[in-house]
């Protein structure tokens, strides 16, 4: 159960007493003499194997027992960063009388430290002891004290600091007490860790400052020696050309020579700086593009060395190697440019050492890249990648475009794979949900899902496969996710197509019924010949004749039945998942039903055609018959004359005409 604790707390080190005044806590602490107890406040014997000591009177308290579950593990983890040895002592107030301003925990901790420091295995340098005494008459009140070893005191964690309002103890007690004493203890250790971190950072900063100061002093000494040498050279030059005088032509010549030399060296230095600056600007532009596009992504990959595998790891490592190479070379180039500009600024006529030094730094002096050139935000990400390399100045800014292209291409592909695989995963989840809904729609139409089950299982298996490598190898997962998503879309499209085909096949019934109704309607009609009939044709009929539509190749019932069969076969194929064949049968059945309907119309159209053309045929036939006698008479007359010899075929033509007329 959770342990309640005192509401207002005195907190101090074992070497001073701190009373939390009413102005701070809003209530004063008044401690009266406790009733007599059988024994004094408990203090344990030191055990090198034990870190947590709890007074049996606390652990066995029937109302508010003290328990510290997992505290030892928490302390071990918290103390690990600075190799501390943390001990916690929790005791119930004994029979001591305590004055109003006294801190019983301080008194007991002083006694405890004096006792434990005499133990051979006690870590006198690295210990941190937190001592809590709970009041025997009020479990919500008590005292806390803390004490640190030699190393902690050397780092500034003295008695006064433990007693400070902003020290490691009081803020923790205010945050967690009285409800969570275990949390308060862990917070004290964490606060001590922060203080030690601050102290270590101060030492590091001090060391760096001292090193920087030493370097500055060395540089100043070097510059002083350099100027002394240049002035010596100047005096030697002036002496060579003669001392100045009213007619000192030698002195004038010397000044001219010095001026020309100064201008020549300055021009060479400025030209070298300008050339370097132009190349550096181009490289800076490439770097900024790379940084803006990808550093946000790179910053999230702090665990890339353990996270990425396979092709992605290889490509990512190559990309960040190029990226860091570009970064450190660019930073070194900027530093080298700044050094050259500083050297130029140091020279005043007639000195030229700075000009020469600037040219040397930008043209011949090797540049050593160690990785320390990395900005702080990158050092934690890529610090171990950069190997110390020595470049000639000309090499330092060479191949910057190539480094950019390689890093940009590799990172672009990785980012696209990471984002694309995740987007495909999300889209796949949506598509699978749609498939689930469409599956329910199939069931409502009595269309089995079984033909599609293997495809769905394959999709789910390949989904698991690409998701299992999505984090570790997105370059492989991305194309795999594309394939899985495409398969899912195809399955969903086929399921929707199956539903549409089912509706289409059922719709054929409408065409079939239309053909049946059309044939039935025509069969109910009386056959009427809409042209004048001859006496021979007008035979008496006992009852009206109706259309039978039963002639060979003229019966729509056969096509209607065929359309029904095709429809049923199509539905069977559809239930088997054979969508292509089912669609072919749908088109065939649809055409057959339409042909059945059209056949009736074709028969009616044929009847109308006959009715329309009977009279013209009769007229032409009658005309032919009427012309035959005249032709016979004319033939007889012609046979007796020249025509018989010249136009022998004419009699045959007449015979042919007779044959035609007789038919």
The enclosing domain of 153 has a CATH number of 3.10.310.50
Domain edge (last residue) among 203, 218, 233: 203
Is 369 a domain residue? yes
* Shared-domain flag, residues 379 and 334: yes
* Shared-domain flag, residues 327 and 443: no
Domain edge (last residue) among 345, 371, 398: 398
The arithmetic mean of pLDDT across residues 11-37, rounded, is 33
Q: What is the pLDDT of residue 622?
A: 79
3 membership: H or E segment, kind and range:
none
Can you tell me which residue has the tokens 């050397």? 154
Report in angstroms the alpha-carbon separations of 591 from 415, 509, 555, 575: 54, 12, 16, 22
Distance CA 77, CA 191 (A): 14
Render pLDDT for 84-124 as a digit per residue (tens, 0 to 9): 999 999 999 998 887 777 888 888 898 899 899 889 899 99
Report which of 102, 77, 78, 98 is spatially closest to residue 12, judged by C-alpha positions.
102
- Do 169 and 187 form a contact (C-beta atoms < 8 A)? no
Is 517 a domain residue? yes
Mean pLDDT (the chain, rounded): 82
Is 440 a domain residue? yes
Report in angstroms the alpha-carbon separations of 339 from 140, 287, 333, 356, 435: 66, 21, 10, 12, 67
Report which of 158, 169, 214, 159 is spatially closest to residue 191, judged by C-alpha positions.
169
* Shared-domain flag, residues 421 and 522: yes
Distance CA 104, CA 592 (A): 106
* Shared-domain flag, residues 130 and 36: yes
Distance CA 660, CA 3 (A): 129
* Shared-domain flag, residues 277 and 384: yes
Is 291 a domain residue? yes
636 membership: H or E segment, kind and range:
helix 579-639
Distance CA 513, CA 70 (A): 82
Render pLDDT for 406-441 as a digit per residue (tens, 0 to 9): 999 999 999 999 999 999 999 999 999 999 999 999
Distance CA 69, CA 114 (A): 29
> Residue 54: is it exposed, middle or buried by C-beta count within 10 angstroms (0-12/13-18/19+)?
buried
Which residue intervals of 347-452 are DSSP H helices? Answer: 353-363, 376-382, 393-396, 400-444
The arithmetic mean of pLDDT across residues 502-526, rounded, is 92
* Shared-domain flag, residues 438 and 579: yes
pLDDT band at 262 (very low <50, low <70, confident <90, very high): confident
Is 214 a domain residue? no
Q: How far is CA 78 from the centre of its chain?
A: 33
Would you give the DSSP letter of residue 526?
A: B
Residues belonging to the chain: 663
* Shared-domain flag, residues 323 and 359: yes
Four-point Cα dihedral 366, 371, 377, 382, nearest 10: 130
Give the percent of the chain with pLDDT over 70.
83
- Do 569 and 587 form a contact (C-beta atoms < 8 A)? no
Is 526 a domain residue? yes
pLDDT band at 245 (very low <50, low <70, confident <90, very high): very low
Report which of 373, 368, 375, 370 is spatially closest to residue 298, judged by C-alpha positions.
375
- Do 133 and 109 form a contact (C-beta atoms < 8 A)? no
Strands (E), 461-571: none
* Greatest Cα-to-Cα distance within the chain, rounded to the nearest angstrom: 178
* Shared-domain flag, residues 387 and 263: yes
* Shared-domain flag, residues 346 and 428: no
* Shared-domain flag, residues 473 and 393: no
651 membership: H or E segment, kind and range:
helix 650-662
Which residue intervals of 20-135 are DSSP H helices? Answer: 22-25, 56-59, 71-79, 104-116
Render pLDDT for 215-238 as a digit per residue (tens, 0 to 9): 777 876 776 676 667 666 655 655
- How many domains does the chain contain in total? 3
Is 243 a domain residue? no
Q: What is the pLDDT of residue 37?
A: 41
Is 648 a domain residue? no
Domain edge (last residue) among 333, 364, 398: 398
Question: Buried b / exposed e across 2-16, counting CB within 10 Å, b at 16+?
Answer: ebbbbbbbbbbbbbe
Instruction: Reply yes or no on whether the pLDDT at 9 is more than 50.
Output: no
The arithmetic mean of pLDDT across residues 308-312, rounded, is 93
Q: Determine the structural domain holding residue 384 and report its residue range.
A: 256-398
Q: What is the pLDDT of residue 4?
A: 30
Q: How many CA atoms lie within 13 A of 196 on its CB side?
A: 22
pLDDT band at 518 (very low <50, low <70, confident <90, very high): very high
- Do 201 and 156 form a contact (C-beta atoms < 8 A)? no
Distance CA 559, CA 338 (A): 96
Instruction: Reply yes or no on whether the pLDDT at 5 is more than 70.
Output: no
Instruction: Reply yes or no on whether the pLDDT at 246 is more than 70.
Output: no
Distance CA 516, CA 514 (A): 5
Distance CA 591, CA 588 (A): 5
- Do 121 and 89 form a contact (C-beta atoms < 8 A)? no
The arithmetic mean of pLDDT across residues 482-497, rounded, is 96
Collect all residues with Cβ–Cβ distance below 8 Å to 215 and sequence separation of at least 6: none
Q: What is the pLDDT of residue 308?
A: 92
Q: Is the pTM of this model over 0.85?
A: no
Distance CA 146, CA 129 (A): 6
* Shared-domain flag, residues 452 and 334: no
* Shared-domain flag, residues 567 and 503: yes
């Amino acid at each position: 159960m959770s342990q309640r604790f005192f509401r207002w707390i005195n907190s101090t080190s074992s070497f001073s007493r701190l009373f939390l005044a009413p102005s701070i806590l809003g209530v004063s602490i008044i401690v009266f003499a406790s009733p007599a107890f059988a024994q004094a406040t408990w203090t344990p014997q030191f055990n090198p194997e034990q870190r947590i000591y709890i007074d049996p009177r606390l652990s066995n308290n029937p109302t508010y027992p003290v328990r510290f579950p997992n505290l030892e593990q928490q302390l071990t983890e918290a103390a690990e960063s600075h190799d501390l040895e943390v001990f916690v002592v929790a005791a119930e107030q004994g029979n001591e009388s305590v004055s109003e301003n006294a801190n019983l925990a301080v008194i007991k901790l002083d006694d405890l430290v004096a006792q434990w420091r005499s133990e051979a295995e006690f870590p006198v340098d690295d210990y941190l002891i937190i001592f809590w005494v709970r009041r025997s008459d009020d479990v919500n009140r008590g005292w806390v004290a803390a004490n640190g070893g030699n190393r902690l005191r050397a780092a500034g964690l003295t008695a006064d600091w433990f007693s400070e309002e902003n020290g490691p103890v009081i803020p923790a007690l205010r945050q967690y007490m009285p409800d969570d004493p275990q949390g308060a203890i862990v917070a004290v250790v964490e606060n001590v860790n922060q203080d030690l971190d601050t102290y270590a950072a101060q030492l590091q900063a001090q060391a760096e400052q001292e090193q920087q100061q030493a370097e500055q002093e060395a540089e100043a000494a070097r510059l002083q020696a350099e100027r002394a040498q240049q002035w010596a050279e100047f005096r030697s030059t002036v002496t060579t050309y003669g001392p100045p005088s009213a007619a000192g032509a030698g002195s004038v010549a010397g000044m001219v020579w010095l001026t020309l030399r100064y201008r020549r060296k300055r021009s060479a230095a400025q030209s070298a700086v300008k050339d370097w600056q132009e190349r550096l600007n181009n490289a800076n532009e490439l770097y900024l593009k790379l940084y803006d596009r990808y550093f946000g992504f790179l910053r999230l990959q702090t665990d890339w060395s353990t996270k990425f595998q396979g092709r992605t790891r290889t490509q990512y490592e190559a990309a960040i190697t190029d990226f860091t190479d570009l970064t450190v070379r660019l930073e070194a180039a900027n530093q080298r440019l700044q050094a050259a500009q500083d050297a130029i600024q140091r020279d005043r006529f007639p000195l030229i050492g700075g000009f020469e030094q600037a040219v040397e730094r930008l043209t011949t002096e090797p540049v050593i890249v160690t990785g320390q050139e990395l900005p702080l935000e990158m050092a934690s990400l890529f610090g171990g990648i950069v190997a110390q390399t020595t470049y000639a100045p000309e090499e330092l800014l060479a191949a910057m475009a190539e480094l950019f292209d390689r890093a940009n291409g590799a990172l672009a592909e990785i980012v696209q794979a990471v984002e694309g695989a995740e987007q495909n995963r999300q889209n796949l989840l949506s598509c699978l949900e749609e498939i689930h809904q469409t599956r329910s729609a199939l069931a409502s139409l009595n269309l089995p899902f079984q033909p599609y089950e293997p495809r769905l299982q394959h999709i789910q298996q390949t989904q698991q496969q690409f998701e299992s490598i999505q984090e570790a190898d997105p370059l492989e997962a991305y194309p795999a996710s594309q394939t899985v998503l495409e398969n899912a879309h195809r399955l969903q499209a086929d399921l929707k197509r199956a539903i549409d085909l089912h509706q289409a096949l059922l719709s054929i019934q409408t065409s079939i019924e239309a053909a049946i109704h059309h044939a039935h309607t025509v069969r109910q009609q009386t056959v009427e010949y809409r042209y004048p009939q001859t006496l021979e044709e007008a035979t008496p009929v006992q009852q009206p004749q109706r259309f039978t539509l039963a002639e060979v190749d003229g019966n729509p019932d056969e096509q209607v039945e065929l359309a029904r069969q095709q429809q049923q076969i199509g539905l069977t194929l559809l239930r088997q998942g054979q969508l292509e064949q089912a669609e072919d049968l749908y088109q065939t059945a649809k055409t057959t039903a339409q042909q059945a309907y059209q056949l009736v119309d074709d028969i009616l159209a044929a009847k109308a055609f006959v009715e329309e053309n009977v009279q013209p045929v009769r007229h032409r036939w009658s005309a032919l018959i009427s012309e035959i006698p005249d032709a016979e008479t004319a033939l007889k007359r012609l046979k007796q004359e020249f025509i018989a010899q010249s136009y022998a075929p004419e009699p045959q033509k007449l015979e042919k005409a007779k044959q035609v007329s007789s038919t």
